[in-house]
Structure formats: C-alpha cells, structure tokens
Amino acid sequence: MAYNEYLADRVRQNLKEKHVAFEEKKMMGGLCILVDDKMCVGIMKDELMARIDPEIYEASLHETGCHQMDFTGKIMKGFVLIRPEGIDREDDLNKWIHRCLEFNPKAKSSKKKKK
C-alpha cells in the first residue's frame, strides 16, 4: 500500500467542502495535493503530510501524532507528518488542512523544469 486511500478520500472531501480547487499527483511514494500549483498537503502511507508555516513548525511538533518529516534523511522544515492518532477525528484533520491552506498563499512554488 503506497498510501491510505481512506485518508485520501477524507482529505479530498474536506477540500471540496471548503470549495478549494486542487490537483493530485502521485509522488514521494504517496499522494501530494497541490493548491495553486504548490504542494499543500499529502498522504504518505497512513500519515498526513502537512506543509505549514515555518513559524508554527516547532510548536506543532508537540501536538498529538505530529513529527518531523525526514523523507530523504534530511529534515524538511515546514513539512510535518501526522500519525493516525493525530487525525482520526474530523476536527483534528480539519485543523491540519486549515493550517496548510492558511500557509499556501505564502508558500513558494517549485520551479518547473524547462523542456
């Protein structure tokens, strides 16, 4: 299993309820959801990947289920992973998605490679 389809459906539904246009891409062994062509949120195995404001990064690490994202062995500041116990309740999932959407306008878009 590359990523939890049930969690992916919950995230999709949450974004649709907020009337957020998004695009999905399979990458990093999971599913990334882009908003305004920027990585916003994703699913890696059973965990939610959240791109949050670096200003709340350290404080977020103390929340239930939240831990650093070190996908390549290097800690990715501004990206956290949340284990199932931190997103089981809809209110908790909503809180994390809200944080991602709040930071998205300030996030830098990855530069697209020229062909």
The answer to the question of residue 45 being in a domain is yes
The answer to the question of residue 112 being in a domain is no
Q: Give the other-Cβ count within 10 Å of 68's Cβ.
A: 14
How many Cα atoms are found within 13 Å in the side-chain-facing hemisphere of 91? 0
Domain that holds residue 10: 5-106
Distance CA 47, CA 4 (A): 8
The answer to the question of residue 18 being in a domain is yes
Q: Which amino acid is at 66?
A: C
pLDDT per position as a tens digit, 7-50? 999 999 999 999 999 999 998 789 999 999 999 999 999 999 99
* CATH number of domain containing 76: 3.90.1150.30
Domain count, the chain: 1
The answer to the question of residue 36 being in a domain is yes
**Residue 114 — very low, low, confident or very high, per pLDDT cuts 50/70/90?**
low
* pTM (2 d.p.): 0.90
Distance CA 23, CA 33 (A): 6
The answer to the question of residue 115 being in a domain is no
Distance CA 90, CA 69 (A): 22
